[in-house]
Chains A and B, each alone.
With several copies, the nearest count.
Chain A
Amino acid sequence: MSTTMVAALNAALRDSLREDASVHVLGEDVGTLGGVFRVTDGLAAEFGAQRCLDTPLAEAGILGTAVGMAMYGLRPVVEMQFDAFAYPAFEQVVSHVAKMRNRTGGRMGLPITIRVPYGGGVGGVEHHSDSSEAYYAHTPGLHVVTPATVADSYGLLRSAIASDDPVVFLEPKRLYWSAADFSPAEVSTAQVPPIGRAMVRRPGTSATLLTYGPSLPVCLEAAQAARAEGWDLAVVDLRSLVPFDDETVCAAVRATGRAVVVHEAAGFAGVGAEIAARVTERCFHHLAAPVLRVTGYDIPYPPPMLEKHHLPSVDRILDAVARLQWEQ
């Protein structure tokens, strides 16, 4: 069965709402409209306007309300309409959502899922294409998860909603309409991927690409193209930025001795810096070259007509691979 990422996410929400009466969806336009990306399509009709609530237009208010709901034992799933429109809720995220369990000595956890469609490549006007993962990944107390495949969209969202900890769930919006042969109905609970495990999407021997979310397909394409240059590239999909799967990542890097990190967000102090730094700390003597990064430039996200230059491309990835000091 061919399923899009949007449909898989929708199925995950639907199944969660069905199985657990404490799950509640809320956000701007999630009800009648079914979300601007249709991820919540049909949920209000099936579960009622209260289980899938159209809120006033105020992101801090939405998340703050969700905090209160979670305090009372519900499992809110909040939709932020676009990456940059989650910033008004930043104080609630950092000062409450991330910290509540800790500040109450473990007595009050907040099982909130914050869904954020993120990243570019969809021709969005300004403020509609930010990659904001580093802000969340640097904030202790949050889990930060981002699926790159249709199956993971379903599975990781189920896991996020089931988690007793808050999860920032970053949905790569340019993969929303990607499709795969996948049937949510056939996924058993045991098959749902846990949060915190990376996945080797392609084995390889020459060098390892470390990536996540919207950049996974680009990396797979680059790995394919690299064969013509004689490189056999491994590709690791991180899936979860926090917790980070040091084990899988380090094993994959040690196996090749060379690595490139790829993401859309600006490079400076991005998550790629963390990955490069920790891989280097842990695999130093296995490395034949420094871990390189292919990322968005250190600029505000560009207007649609220029975004192709900004986004990591197959060419830029291959250029970086070429700089991995092969002649040594």
Chain B
Amino acid sequence: MTVLDDSTAPGLVGPPHSHGPRRDPAPLLPDPEPVRILGTPAAKTFDAELQRDLYRRLVLGRRFNQQATTLTRQGRLAVYPASTGQEACQITAAMVLREVDWLFPSYRDTLAVVARGVRPLDALTLMRGHAHSGYDPYEHRIAPLSTPLATQAPHAVGLAHAARLRAATDPAAAEDLVALALVGDGGTSEGDFHEALNFAGVLGAPVVFLVQNNGYAISVPLASQSAAPSLAHKAVGYGIAGRLVDGNDALAMHSVLSAAVEHARSGRGPVLVEAVTYRLDAHTNADDATRYRSAAEVDAWRARDPLTLLEGHLRAAGLLDDAGVAAAAKAAEVLAGEIRAQFDNPPDPDPDSLFTHVYARPTSQLREQAAELAARLDADADAALAAATDAEDEAR
């Protein structure tokens, strides 16, 4: 048997096959370990006023989580999925966005919604059970909190793409906006997450996906969710940049997230940011987290509480003193008082609202159904009135 000396048949084979030029993967891969600033030399050059601001906001955020949890105990909220321990993610997600930008929150991100300016009562309407969404998405440029996981991620892509389309055809109306979509570690497993990242990559849309990897999807730990080196490693598969950051380091979060947002804004394409963090509270007030995680684990993460870390750093750096801490705490109490006041006598929902916004104009079928309900409620009211009158008569 003669064996081919490949030098004899070079023309036969030619260069390797491909469908177009290959992109270099290196810039898309995340660092092996999460980006940190606290405790590193970079902390020294970080704007001092911004650091103080981050601290004050984190304190407010923590108080918000506590107050909302209290409201569930009082039965004023049906449910609240607290973001305690994730405040550095929530706060910076709101901070790095400009007014023109859009936020696409997941069900756990009420704090980010409030941090972007929505009145607490309105941000919590869904959890109160009064209406599905309590704020005007156009006023705040915030999509409704998304309960079906990861389903809002393609919406962020579509909106960001649409803004580019408008800018191209109508430069006068151009808005240099970025859409920021918030997803959990569990949410990354959904098909919609995949499809959103792929569309973003292909369209080059100005979107940032922030994955708050808090280690659990309800009870399911990360190891049962993904075998990837990091969730940020998913980015390369879509041709987009992946970044890994310490989600409990407020300075790192602010720095990485603003860079990602400006990367997207400047037309350099979407970014996937994975923030490694931890949910210190249970999944919601209805959950019993002791069923699936140890006190030791929670304690270890409590020692890395983003607020404690930042406060310690600021004190050590001389940027914060007892007076500053007290002032922040006082502002937090003012916020908590405002929330309580908003929940004191919130309006009741109108039954007719069941029918008014199903379509732009109700169908004849819905008009019939609304009339039926109205008649029944009227009859009930009449009956109640009659009963009350009878009782009065009797009493007289």
> Is A–B contact present in the complex under a CB 8 A cutoff?
yes
Binding site for B on A (CB under 8 A): 21, 24, 28-29, 31-34, 36, 50, 54-58, 60-61, 63-74, 76, 84-85, 87-88, 91-92, 95-96, 99-109, 123, 125-128, 140-141, 143, 163-165, 196, 242-244, 246-247, 268, 297-300, 302-306, 309-310, 315-316, 319
Q: Check B226–A34 contact: CB distance below 8 A.
A: no
Binding site for A on B (CB under 8 A): 78-79, 107, 126-133, 136-138, 143-144, 147-149, 151, 153-163, 165-166, 168-170, 179, 186-187, 189-192, 194-196, 198-199, 202, 217-220, 224-226, 291-292, 348-349, 351, 353-360, 363-366, 369, 373, 376-377
Q: Check A107–B360 contact: CB distance below 8 A.
A: no
Q: Check A108–B358 contact: CB distance below 8 A.
A: no
Q: Check B151–A91 contact: CB distance below 8 A.
A: yes
Q: Check B157–A60 contact: CB distance below 8 A.
A: no
The 5 closest A-B pairs by CB, nearest first: A68-B158, A64-B154, A61-B195, A304-B129, A33-B219
Bound-complex Cα distance A237 to B31 (A): 60
Bound-complex Cα distance A97 to B190 (A): 18
Contacts of B202 in A (CB 8 A): 55-56
Contacts of B165 in A (CB 8 A): 24, 50, 69, 74
B286 to chain A: closest residue by CB? A36
Contacts of B166 in A (CB 8 A): 72-74
B357 to chain A: closest residue by CB? A106
Q: B219's contact among A29, A64, A91, by CB below 8 Å, is which?
A: A29
Q: Check B147–A57 contact: CB distance below 8 A.
A: no
Q: Check A88–B354 contact: CB distance below 8 A.
A: no
Bound-complex Cα distance A146 to B374 (A): 32
Contacts of A127 in B (CB 8 A): 147-148
Bound-complex Cα distance A268 to B363 (A): 12
* B9 smallest CB distance to A (angstroms): 37
Contacts of A107 in B (CB 8 A): 136-138
Q: Check B351–A57 contact: CB distance below 8 A.
A: no
* B141 smallest CB distance to A (angstroms): 10
Q: Check B219–A54 contact: CB distance below 8 A.
A: yes
Q: Check A60–B195 contact: CB distance below 8 A.
A: yes
Q: Check A57–B225 contact: CB distance below 8 A.
A: yes
Q: Check A58–B158 contact: CB distance below 8 A.
A: no
* A294 smallest CB distance to B (angstroms): 11
Q: Check B358–A57 contact: CB distance below 8 A.
A: no
Bound-complex Cα distance A68 to B207 (A): 12
Q: A57's contact among B186, B348, B353, by CB below 8 Å, is which?
A: B186
* A145 smallest CB distance to B (angstroms): 13
* B212 smallest CB distance to A (angstroms): 14
Bound-complex Cα distance A60 to B351 (A): 33
Q: Check B161–A33 contact: CB distance below 8 A.
A: no
**Known contacts A64-B199, A68-B155; can you find 19 more A-B pairs with CB under 8 A?**
A24-B165, A50-B168, A60-B191, A60-B195, A64-B153, A65-B157, A68-B154, A68-B157, A70-B158, A72-B159, A84-B148, A105-B131, A108-B137, A127-B148, A165-B359, A297-B354, A297-B366, A306-B354, A310-B354
Given A67-B154, A72-B166, A303-B132, is A56 in contact with B224 using a C-beta cutoff of 8 Å?
yes
B153 to chain A: closest residue by CB? A64
Bound-complex Cα distance A95 to B143 (A): 14
Q: Check A91–B358 contact: CB distance below 8 A.
A: no
- Could you list 6 examples of A-B contacts with CB < 8 Å? A57-B190, A61-B192, A105-B132, A105-B353, A107-B137, A128-B147
Contacts of A103 in B (CB 8 A): 132-133, 144
Q: Check A57–B159 contact: CB distance below 8 A.
A: no
Q: A58's contact among B127, B132, B189, B373, by CB below 8 Å, is which?
A: B189
Contacts of B351 in A (CB 8 A): 306, 309
Bound-complex Cα distance A52 to B29 (A): 33
Which of A21, A74, A246, A299 counts the most chain B CB atoms within 10 A?
A: A299
* A185 smallest CB distance to B (angstroms): 26
Q: Check A56–B129 contact: CB distance below 8 A.
A: no
* A272 smallest CB distance to B (angstroms): 14
Bound-complex Cα distance A24 to B191 (A): 24
Bound-complex Cα distance A58 to B186 (A): 8
Bound-complex Cα distance A141 to B151 (A): 18
A300 to chain B: closest residue by CB? B358
Contacts of A87 in B (CB 8 A): 148
Q: Check B360–A126 contact: CB distance below 8 A.
A: no
Bound-complex Cα distance A52 to B219 (A): 14
Contacts of B128 in A (CB 8 A): 305
Bound-complex Cα distance A54 to B223 (A): 11
Bound-complex Cα distance A65 to B192 (A): 10
B201 to chain A: closest residue by CB? A56
Bound-complex Cα distance A140 to B368 (A): 15
Which of A56, A91, A105 counts the most chain B CB atoms within 10 A?
A: A56
Contacts of B155 in A (CB 8 A): 64-65, 67-68, 71, 96
